[in-house]
Amino acid sequence: MPDLFKPWTIGDVTFRNRIFVSPMCQYSADDGYPNDWHFVHLGSRAVGGAGLVMMEATAVTPEGRITPGDLGIWSDDHVAEFKRNADFIHAQGGAAGVQLAHAGRKASCAAPWVDGGRALTADEGAWQTVAPSAIPFSDNAPTPHALTADEMQEIVDAFVAAARRADAAGMDMIEVHGAHGYLLHEFVSPLSNQRTDEYGGSLENRCRFPLEVVRAVRAVWPENKPLFYRVSASDWEDGGWDIDQTVQLAQWLKAEGVDVLDCSGGGNTPSAKIPVGPGYQTEFAARVRRETGLATGAVGMITEPVQAEHIVHSGQADCVLLARELLRDPYFPLRAAAELHGDDNQAPPVQYARAFT
């Protein structure tokens, strides 16, 4: 059996294969609620055979949304619609998960297809953004409010409440979003964190707040369910966050009970020069896994079954998280199983079987 299709068990959760649906924002929710668009979008990937279908960046507070169309789980009223999605994913044999997020200074924006995702105007319902320091993301972005210690604790509490709701919704795993220039990434990077208190300056201080979030979430998230953390392993900017600092953060996250580090990159500055190409971020996952022993997920321009199999088989990562390729082809796992001679647990749904014989 190809390594890509070997089941993987963490706690009491077994993923049927190592092909995971990366969180992909759809900017199509209404007041945080998943709707029919999300049900069909996520359900298609479950039918397509993914081992894990992870719901997109889901805000833990209304102010933590990137756009007004983001998913949210700041209210108990949201739980039923998340459970509807989880139940369908389970019925197709997949594991269900959700990424918990706060957008920080990159919040209060229009959807990306509206003038490139520009900042909302007051007439459009713009809200005050927050960050570790009052440094705007770009020249055209609003200046965020620098969080106080009390406000940071409120955000920790919001992550905790969101984790409890995700459990109530039947999610098998959660991922804390610490990447792509959103709030937790803003704290760890010296480009966006210029605080002079215990949350700024040294690497240990800059990582303090994300670790407090993880510690609090792990305390309420069931021990038998996996906890992932998504990191941007590099800012791709001189003087910014880099892979060396990521390795240290990974060691600290492992000690706090994180099971998998989902290794992405970039997003914290608009000027980053990112060398995009096939598998361009895979080495991040490989180095973290090699130097810390923490399980990792690889992302970034993974488009072919043999490429995905090589990443897992060679030990660069324990799983691959696909985004754009799964937008193009929701049935990538079934295609990969056929190309790589996967086993019977990747048989198509019986309703589709005649197309695969």
- Residues marked active site are found at 182
CA distance 261 to 86: 22
Q: Residue 97: in which H helix or E strand, if any?
A: strand 95-101
| Angle, vertex CA 320, rays to CA 315 and CA 321, nearest 5 | 155
Where residue 78 falls (left for φ over 0; alpha for ψ -120 to 50; beta otherwise) is alpha
Amino acid code (one letter) for 349: P
DSSP annotation string for 293-337: --EEEE-SS---HHHHHHHHHTTS-SEEEESHHHHH-TTHHHHHH
Reduced DSSP (H G I as helix, E B as strand, rest coil) percent helix, strand, coil of the chain, to 5: 40, 15, 45
Paired tokens of 146? 């620098």
CA distance 64 to 156: 12
